[in-house]
Structure 1
Amino acid sequence: MIGFSVKQWAAWAPGLVDGDAWRAWAAAPWLPSGDETPALQEVPAMQRRRIERLGRMAIQTACWCQEADEGGVPLVFASRHGDVARSMELLEALATDDPPSPTTFGLSVHNAIAALYSILRRDRGNYVAVAGGRATVETACIEAAALLADGAPEVLLVVYDAPLPAVYADFADEPDAGFAWCWRVGPVGAVGAVGAVGAVGDALALAWNEADGADDAPAALPHALDILRFLLSGDPSLQWRGDGTAWHWRRNA
């Protein structure tokens, strides 16, 4: 079992930008959809042009949870599929014998968005990019907890995904949505930043064991969004089974 405190949070999805909208959504959740893109005004226009929509979503939430002149906080970026649209662009080029774009390749790798964020901030601190199937959030939280156990006072956890290209529709095992959220986490007992947007301070415990029986059927939300709903809703617990593992979330345990 691991535990940590969520000191601050931020999230972005089409139609859901500020904290009040997200808290109302958590009480009556719906699947976000739409083509809107975050303004990402924290990034200069010349640099912003290089960042695709998925990256803008992730970086926007990270910027909201981190001061402009703050550095050295370890980063965990987590996405189940990453920037799969760029990967499809490369595959389509290869299928038609066109030379793949080096820029597209460089920005398609799984740690590209985390790298862009660290470059934009000129931050040479530790960052890692993870993917763990349906349990990507749980995998990322284990990574964050390990960094806290290794002595980091805080960790910035950024979770993001985008709808899959149509060619992958037959393989989808949960609803599609474009979204990103960020948690600023600390050890159990750490309090939220006074006056910070999205300050929480709730302690979360996560345990897991081998699951008996079949995985849970897909829910109405992507699992990563359901975890955010759990945090914002105030529910005492959340249980689910996926990829052969039973996961047990508890609040203030």
Structure 2
Amino acid sequence: MIQFEIDQWQAWAPGLASTDDWAKWARDPRALENDDVQPDVSFLPAMQRRRLSRLARMVFAVATPLATGRPPMPLVYASRHGETARTFAILNDLASEEPLSPTQFSLSVHNAIIGLWSIHQHNTCEMTALAAEGDGLEHAVLEATLLLGEGAPEVLVVIAEDQPPAVYAPWINDVSFPYAVALLLKPGQAWQLSLGAAEPTPICTVHPHAINLVRALLNNQPTLQHQWGSRQWNWQQPH
């Protein structure tokens, strides 16, 4: 079991950007749809914005409000599929025997986003990029609490997924809409997270784990359970 405090959070999905948007959704959840809307990252220089994919923009949109005005802090980023759209574009170029773009390749690797974040924030703290399964949220929180245990006063956790190209539909069915969630974790005992075993069942969830956590936070829900395969994650507020 690990313990921690969620000091602040930010989230983005199509049509849901502000805390008020999320609060209304949490009271009456609806299915979230995929569209071409982009998060607002007008706070970034135009030259830098042009380099960012929608996935990267989502990460910057949720992480920046939690980092602004604070000392540099470690960051743990988790995404199951990462920059799939960029990778697919590169594969298309290869298939067409077109010259490959070094920039596209460098921005397609899994840790490219945290590299861009480090540069933008002038942050040389430890940063980790995780390629986890559908319970990447819990693995990212576990990694963050290890950093807290080593003395970090606070750690930023970001989990994000973009809608993959349609050609991947037979293999990727766990991202029905793009989303990003950022958590500012601090040492504390407000939340407990434990892992147990469960009978494996077919994965069929309306919303990703991170989005369900946002709803629980807004509704002051003291417990939450997430299952992925045979892993049963139990969230609990002891007080």
Please list, as runs of the form range in 1=range in 2, the aligned pairs for 1:51-66 lying within 5 A after superposition: 51-66=52-67
Spell out, residue by residue over 1:211-233, the C-alpha distance to the aligned partner (whole angstroms, 9 max, x if none).
2x223531111233222222222
| Aligned pairs (5 A) from 1:206-221 | 206-211=193-198, 213-215=199-201, 217-221=203-207
Give the TM-score, by structure 2 length: 0.93
Can you list the C-alpha shifts for 1:19-70, whole angstroms capped at 9, x where unaligned? Answer: 11111212222233322112212211121111111111111111111115x4
Query: For 2:195, what is the secondary structure of its paired residue?
Result: strand
Report Cα offsets for 1:182-238 as digits up to 9, x if no partner.
11110115xxxxxxxxxxxxx221111232x22353111123322222222222212
Taking only the aligned residue pairs, the percentage that are identical comes to 39
**For 1:76-106, what per-residue CA distance to the aligned partner results, in whole angstroms no more than 9, with x for missing partners?**
1111111110011111122222232111110
Query: Is 2:181–2:210's contact at 8 Å kept on the other side of the alignment?
Result: no
Further displaced range: 33-42 or 5-14: 33-42
User: How many angstroms apart in 2 are the aligned matches of 1:53 and 1:31?
Assistant: 20
1:76-115 matches, cutoff 5 A: 76-115=76-115
For 2:63, the aligned partner's letter is A
Shift of 1:157: 0.8
- Specify the SS of the correspondent of 2:64: helix
Contact 1:175 1:219 in 2 (8 A): no
Counterpart CA distance in 2 for 1:86 and 1:229 is 31
Alignment of 1:42 onto 2:60? no
Instruction: Let me know the Cα RMSD of the aligned residues.
Output: 1.6
* Whole-angstrom CA distance in 2 between matches of 1:173 and 1:46: 34
Q: Tell me which moved more, 213-222 or 41-50.
A: 213-222
Question: 1:216·1:241 contact (CA, 8 Å) conserved in 2?
Answer: no
- Unaligned 5+ segments in structure 2 are none
Q: Please state whether the residue corresponding to 2:135 is helix, strand or coil.
A: helix
For residues 145-185 of structure 1, give each alpha carbon's deviation from its aligned partner in whole angstroms, at most 9, with x where no partner exists.
00000100100111111112111111234351111111111
Confirm or deny that 1:247 pairs with 2:233.
yes
Q: Name the CA distance, whole Å, in 2 between partners of 1:14 and 1:145.
A: 30
**Pairing partner for 2:191 from 200, 204, 212:** 204
1:177-188 equivalent positions in 2, closer than 5 A:
177-188=177-188
CA distance in 1, matches of 2:28, 2:226: 20
The one-letter code of the counterpart of 2:201 is D
8 Å Cα contact 1:71/1:125 also seen in 2: no
The 2-side partners of 1:112 and 1:175 are apart by 21
**Segment of structure 1 superposing worse, 237-246 or 124-133:** 237-246
Q: Aligned pair count? A: 238
* Residues in 2 aligned to 1:94 and 1:43: alpha-carbon distance in whole angstroms: 32
Task: Tell whether the 8 Å contact from 1:216 to 1:240 is kept in structure 2 after alignment.
Answer: no
Of the candidates 209, 218, 223, which is equivalent to residue 232 of structure 1? 218
Distance in 2 (alpha carbons) for counterparts of 1:15 and 1:214: 34
- Preserved contact between residue 134 and residue 243 of structure 1 (Cα < 8 Å): no
Partner of residue 167, structure 1: 167
Contact 2:38 2:57 in 1 (8 A): yes
Matching residue's letter, 2:194: A
Task: Provide the secondary structure at the position in 1 that maps to 2:233.
Answer: strand
TM-score by length of 1: 0.88
Question: Is the counterpart of residue 222 in structure 1 residue 208 in structure 2?
Answer: yes
Deviates more, 1:79-88 or 1:35-44: 35-44
Distance 2:235 2:98 in 1: 47
